[in-house]
Structure 1
Amino acid sequence: MEILDCITAVARPIHDFGDEFMSDEATAAIGLRAGFAPGRGFYCRGRFGVLGEAPAPVVQAAQGFLGPRLVTTGWLAGRAVMPAEEAAACYAQAVRTWGGAHIPTDVDVEHFNHLAQQLIDAADADALPLFAGWRAQPCPEDDPVGAAMQRVHVLREHRGACHLAAVRLCGLSAREAMVINLGVERAIHYGWQEPHPVAATQVPRRQRAERLTDEMQAPLYAALTDRQRTEFARLINALTASCSR
């Protein structure tokens, strides 16, 4: 499989499987049991905790696509519950637990983990702080299914960080990209306060950003052979089969 064909094949399943984890009530319940109040505290403190005890504007700058009020409120609410490093470890455990419940038992997770780690190791993390933080998060060897889900999450963070950079390079703000992609109402759901519609003339910029994101990910997938890319795409589809795409 060619590099860009593989990227196109796996991008949506990786994104959507991660979305299902993040929005699942079972994930929220883990946060509640850990002491987080209902809301976005566990999500913000856990997902962005790999950045360390950063000020809220720094967290906002690193993640980009969520509205600043949502991020600030969640980040500060979670600060009282546990330190950032501990919250990230708790969130990583939630990632692995969710994977254990949703990855089909017949998937060859050992082979997936081998290929996924090759991709993760091949990545240049410069200007991709959220990805770099998650790549540095310990991934237990005694839980191959959970480790597979954590690697899916890490790869999702890589594409998300590349896409944020691509969006800005193409002359769009993160808010504009969210409105173009999801519409005004869905952008509100993701924390943007009263987002205005974006002019139709801006839409090609987001399309260009998608192509640029693919190009930015190409060096990772060059780390695999044609055959390995075919296997990786097949394994991603099998691993994420429960996702309601």
Structure 2
Amino acid sequence: MEIFDCIAAVARPLHDFGDEFMSDETTAAVGLRAGFPPGRGFYCRGRFGVLGEAPVPVVQAVQGFLGPDLVTPGWLAGRPVMPAGEAAACYASAVREWGRAHIPRDVDVEHFNRLAQQLIDAAGTDALPLFAGWRAQPCPADDPVGAAMQRIHVLREHRGACHLAAVRLSGLSAREAMIINLGVEQADHYGWPEPQPVAAALVPRWRRAENVTDELQAPLYATLTDRQRAEFAQLVGALTAGLRP
């Protein structure tokens, strides 16, 4: 399988499987049991806790796509519950728990883990701090299914960080990219105050950003052989087979 064919085959399933985890009530329940209040505190403090005790504007800048009306209250609500590093570890545990419940039992997760780790190890971290933080998060060797889900999350963070860089390179703000991609209503849902439609002339910039994102990920997938890329795409499809339609 060619490099860009593999990227095209896995990008959406990896993204959407991560979305399923993040929006699942069982994930929120882990946060509630850990002492986080209802809302976005566990999500923000857990996902972005790998950045350490960062000020809100730094968290906002690093993750980019979520608006301040989501990130600010979420990060501040989670701060009194536990230190950032502990929150990230708790979130990673929730990632693995969700994976054990949702990854099909007949998938060769061991082979997926080998290939996924090869991709993760090949990635540079320059200008990708959120990915760097998640790559540094410990991944237990005695939980292969949970580890597979954590690696899905890490790869998702890599593409997201690359996409944020590509969006800015293409002359768009993260807010504009969110509106073009998901629409005004969803941009409002994800914390952007009073979002307005984006001029149609900016849409080609978003398409360019998608292509640049693929180009930024290509060096990772170049470390796999044609056969390994085909196997990886097949494994991602099998791992994420339970995605809601």
| TM-score calculated relative to the size of structure 2 | 0.99
The residue number in structure 2 matching 1:201 is 201
Kindly provide the amino acid, as one letter, of the partner of residue 170 in structure 2.
C
The residue number in structure 1 matching 2:178 is 178
SS of 1:244 mapped into structure 2: coil
Deviation at 1:244, TM superposition (A): 1.6
CA distance in 2 between counterparts of 1:40 and 1:193 reads 17
The residue number in structure 2 matching 1:89 is 89
SS of 1:66 mapped into structure 2: coil
The residue number in structure 1 matching 2:240 is 240
Superposed CA offset, 1:147-206 (max 9, x none): 000000000000000000000000000000000001100111111111010000000000
Kindly provide the amino acid, as one letter, of the partner of residue 95 in structure 2.
V
Kindly provide the amino acid, as one letter, of the partner of residue 121 in structure 2.
D
SS of 1:39 mapped into structure 2: coil
Q: Does 1:7 align with 2:3?
A: no
Runs of 4+, deviation exceeding 3 Å: none
SS of 1:171 mapped into structure 2: coil
The residue number in structure 1 matching 2:117 is 117
Superposed CA offset, 1:83-124 (max 9, x none): 000000000000000000000000000000000000000001
Kindly provide the amino acid, as one letter, of the partner of residue 178 in structure 1.
M
SS of 1:71 mapped into structure 2: helix
Question: Which ranges in structure 2 are unaligned for 5 or more consecutive residues?
Answer: none
CA distance in 1 between counterparts of 2:93 and 2:241 reads 21
Matches within 5 A, 1:1-245: 1-245=1-245
CA distance in 1 between counterparts of 2:69 and 2:181 reads 20
SS of 2:167 mapped into structure 1: helix
Q: RMSD across aligned C-alpha pairs, in angstroms?
A: 0.5
Kindly provide the amino acid, as one letter, of the partner of residue 45 in structure 2.
R
Question: Which ranges in structure 1 are unaligned for 5 or more consecutive residues?
Answer: none
CA distance in 1 between counterparts of 2:196 and 2:117 reads 40
Kindly provide the amino acid, as one letter, of the partner of residue 186 in structure 2.
R
SS of 2:160 mapped into structure 1: helix
Deviation at 1:69, TM superposition (A): 2.3
SS of 2:94 mapped into structure 1: helix
Kindly provide the amino acid, as one letter, of the partner of residue 16 in structure 1.
D
Deviation at 1:72, TM superposition (A): 1.1
Aligned residues: 245
Kindly provide the amino acid, as one letter, of the partner of residue 172 in structure 1.
L
